[in-house]
């Protein structure tokens, strides 16, 4: 039996969104620049359900508990302390530390193509990269944003 061939490539490459340009806005206005976004993670755990009947034991997989969505962003360390200050607000337990963030994907003409809106987001992890005496690399800060919900819109 011959299996049908499936192509994963898009037949219309003009619809692809570039990963080269993106902007991160906080609370609808202020921006913090980042050099990399590792990805957006949204996950639902799998729960196994076992049932016993006349024909024996059957198992089915069900939706389980949802995990909070996360986004991992990286940027060079500079004189902008906005991320550090925001993370300190979270560590202090300030309820105002939850913010709306927009990850805007741009085309090569800087026209927004997709916007991921992170509702009630906060930096759950902030990591400052390693240091090395005599090195010439920039120090990189990695921040993990955790949010309650992610919405996707065109443009």
Is 146 inside a domain boundary? yes
Is 47 inside a domain boundary? yes
Is 8 inside a domain boundary? no
CA 64 – CA 47 distance, rounded (Å): 5
The alpha helices in 17-127, defined as continuous H runs, are 82-91
Q: Choose among 82, 76, 74, 89: nearest CA to 31.
A: 82
Provide CB contacts within 8 A for 147, sequence distance 6+: 68, 69, 70, 71, 101, 118, 119, 120, 121, 122
Residue range(s) defining the domain that contains residue 77: 13-154
Is 6 inside a domain boundary? no
Domains of the chain: total: 1
Is 59 inside a domain boundary? yes
Is 2 inside a domain boundary? no
The pLDDT tens digits of the residues spanning 85-142 come to 999 999 999 989 999 999 999 888 888 899 999 999 999 999 998 888 988 889 999 9
- Model-level pTM? 0.77
Q: Choose among 105, 104, 144: nearest CA to 121.
A: 144
Whether pLDDT at 9 is above 70? no
Look up the CATH number of the domain holding residue 47. 2.30.110.20
The pLDDT tens digits of the residues spanning 51-93 come to 888 888 888 899 999 999 999 999 999 888 888 999 999 999 9
Is 31 inside a domain boundary? yes
145 DSSP 8-state letter: E
């Amino acid at each position: 039996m011959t299996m049908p061939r499936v192509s994963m490539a898009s037949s219309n490459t003009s619809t692809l969104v570039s990963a080269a340009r993106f902007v991160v806005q906080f609370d609808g206005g202020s921006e913090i620049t980042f050099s990399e976004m590792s990805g957006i993670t949204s996950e639902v755990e799998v729960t196994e359900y076992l049932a016993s009947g006349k024909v024996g034991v059957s198992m089915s997989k069900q939706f389980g508990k949802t995990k909070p969505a996360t986004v991992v962003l990286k940027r060079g360390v500079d004189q902008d302390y906005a991320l550090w200050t925001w993370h300190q607000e979270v560590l202090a337990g300030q309820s105002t530390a939850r913010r709306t963030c927009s990850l805007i994907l741009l085309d090569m003409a800087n026209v927004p193509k997709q916007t991921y809106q992170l509702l009630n987001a906060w930096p759950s992890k902030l990591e400052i990269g390693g240091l090395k005496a005599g090195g010439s690399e920039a120090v990189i800060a990695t921040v993990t944003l955790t949010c309650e919900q992610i919405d996707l819109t065109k443009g």
